[in-house]
Amino acid sequence: MSGKRRRGGLGPAVAIAPGARVDRFEVFFDLVFVFSFFIITRATALDINGTNLLHALLVLAVLWWSWVVHSLVATRVRLGEGFVPVLMVAGMAALFTFALALPQAFRDPGENAAGPMVAAGSYVVIRAVHLALYLHVVRDSPNERRQLRRFAPELVLSTFLLLLAALIPAQIQEPGRAALVRDGLWATVVLLQYSTGLIAGTWGWNVTSAEHWTERYDLILIIALGESVISVGVGSNLLGQPPTWPAVAAAVLGIVFTAALWWVHYDWVGPAARIALHAAEGRPRVAMARDAYAYFYLPMIAGIILFALGAERIVHEIADPHVPLEQRADGPGVALLFGGVICYLCGNMLFQLRTLHTVTWLRVGTVLLLGACIPVGQRLPGLAALTLLTVICVGLVALEVLTMGESRDALHAVVAQERTTHEAREAAFRARWHERESDEPST
């Protein structure tokens, strides 16, 4: 990837440095994933049932695998340098088209095959862009080329199966059987992709910058949490009607419990895991990056989408002036709300176990408490159920602050020292821009 930049050209791809951070183009690329999470949530919210929830999780799993492949490419080459942004814009357009087609990907096969075909075709383009870029990156590394060949069957079969899922169901006369075949093919794609990541192993791979890797995943998790904020806003509908105190209270509670869930990860688990990944080297670092970030972030994001669906439904009922405030929360809202938080916390505990080799029993107790509160919440009015969840989440944060004071302070001190040292070095480097050479000859 080295070489001189040709005059007037875009220039070559630039390798990632050991201390690299996420660049602005990568954040720009994430805008499409923001839209994808939004589409998954909106399409599922139209009719919440078991089948649609299964479809949402299948789509999320396939979409997340493309994110994992994208992050692997970003560990080797700066996506905002040289010719790479041009290629990534093509992938970005394909991913945007894929997201647009998702609501039609699981429609009745007899209605229209255009949606599934667009989704499958767009996914092929996304994977082709990633493959072309990674082949360019590893062209001088025989070991990595051999490892890449281990993933070739997954690439070919997964794209082929998605194409079959778009074509075969339309040829089956019985709708129930057609839907079963389609869902089975999508589930096979998910199983194939995630099992390949484990079977192929870590030999030949490398995480050059642990800082870049952890920051990349932390940013996408914040984007997913933003979907919860959007869902609360959509549910409250304060823009479409005069605000009422229950609607305002529900909106505030939604923000508070989302902030508590942000705190659960970013207060100490995320920073400590980042240090652990920095401390690991070679194949142990790659294994930790794969297991903790590529795999265990998925249940966390799935949990966010589930509790976002539940929060939107409950807040919408609370904000509806025609629904009595004392009426029980109707439908699956409470189960999705509490169940989604349980899924998020379980994913976070698996992440903690893999990176830090510890389990926080306070969080285990919180998960059990949330499970026990689901039937209780279903008997409460929506505002009371939302309040109960918020109290539990904020209570978890408060108890951890009280019981983990010394360890939290020590961790935060290390992180602050690292940040201060890094900023001081950056300031010293930039100070040279202000230096002026003396015009007078030295004596």
Instruction: Kindly report, residue by residue over 312-367, the tens digit of the pLDDT.
Output: 889 888 887 777 888 888 789 999 999 999 999 999 999 999 999 999 999 999 99
**Residue 23 identity:** D
- What pLDDT was estimated at residue 104? 80
> Looking at the structure, do residues 317 and 331 belong to the same domain, yes or no?
yes
Q: Do 192 and 127 touch, CB atoms closer than 8 A? A: no
> Looking at the structure, do residues 235 and 383 belong to the same domain, yes or no?
yes
- Structural domain range at position 319: 208-427
- What tokens does 65 get? 């695998």
Instruction: Kindly report, residue by residue over 66-120, the tens digit of the pLDDT.
Output: 889 888 888 888 888 888 888 889 988 998 898 888 888 887 665 666 778 888 8
In order of 141, 309, 342, the CA distances from 11 in angstroms are 21, 45, 48
Whether the predicted pLDDT of 195 surpasses 90: yes
Give CB contacts under 8 A, 24+ apart, made by 142-148. Answer: 143/203, 143/204, 144/204, 144/205, 144/206, 146/204, 147/200, 147/203, 147/204, 147/205
Residue 386 sits in a domain whose CATH number is: 1.20.1410
Instruction: Kindly report, residue by residue over 373-397, the tens digit of the pLDDT.
Output: 999 999 999 999 999 999 999 999 9
> Looking at the structure, do residues 383 and 409 belong to the same domain, yes or no?
yes
> Looking at the structure, do residues 287 and 169 belong to the same domain, yes or no?
no
> Looking at the structure, do residues 198 and 343 belong to the same domain, yes or no?
no
Among 67-71, 268-272, 296-300, 372-376, the range scoring the smallest mean pLDDT is: 67-71
CA-angle at 97, arms to 94 and 101, nearest 5°:
140
For residues 35-49, give the mean pLDDT: 86
Distance CA 91, CA 87 (A): 7
- What tokens does 196 get? 């390949």
> Looking at the structure, do residues 188 and 222 belong to the same domain, yes or no?
no
Q: Do 76 and 130 touch, CB atoms closer than 8 A? A: no
Closest by CA to 25, choosing from 71, 76, 91, 80, is: 80
Backbone angles phi, psi at 55, to 5 degrees: -60, -40
Q: Is 325 helix (H, G, I), strand (E, B) or coil?
A: coil
> Looking at the structure, do residues 256 and 330 belong to the same domain, yes or no?
yes
Closest by CA to 238, choosing from 230, 228, 248, 229, is: 248
The verdict on residue 328 lying in a domain is yes
The verdict on residue 440 lying in a domain is no
CA-angle at 143, arms to 139 and 148, nearest 5°:
70
Whether the predicted pLDDT of 265 surpasses 80: yes
Q: What is the count of structural domains for the chain?
A: 2
- The secondary structure of residue 338, as a DSSP letter, is H
**Residue 368 identity:** L
Q: Which of 191, 206, 221 corresponds to the end of one domain?
A: 206
> Looking at the structure, do residues 118 and 181 belong to the same domain, yes or no?
yes
- What tokens does 16 get? 């990632």
Whether the predicted pLDDT of 205 surpasses 80: no
Q: Is 140 helix (H, G, I), strand (E, B) or coil?
A: coil
Query: Across the strands, what pairs with 328?
Result: 381
Instruction: Kindly report, residue by residue over 234-247, the tens digit of the pLDDT.
Output: 766 655 667 788 88
Categorize the per-residue pLDDT at 2 as very low, low, confident or very high, splitting at 50, 70 and 90: very low
Query: Across the strands, what pairs with 102?
Result: none
For residues 287-313, give the mean pLDDT: 94
**Residue 103 identity:** P
> Looking at the structure, do residues 181 and 232 belong to the same domain, yes or no?
no
> Looking at the structure, do residues 377 and 311 belong to the same domain, yes or no?
yes
> Looking at the structure, do residues 197 and 212 belong to the same domain, yes or no?
no
- What pLDDT was estimated at residue 236? 66
> Looking at the structure, do residues 193 and 57 belong to the same domain, yes or no?
yes
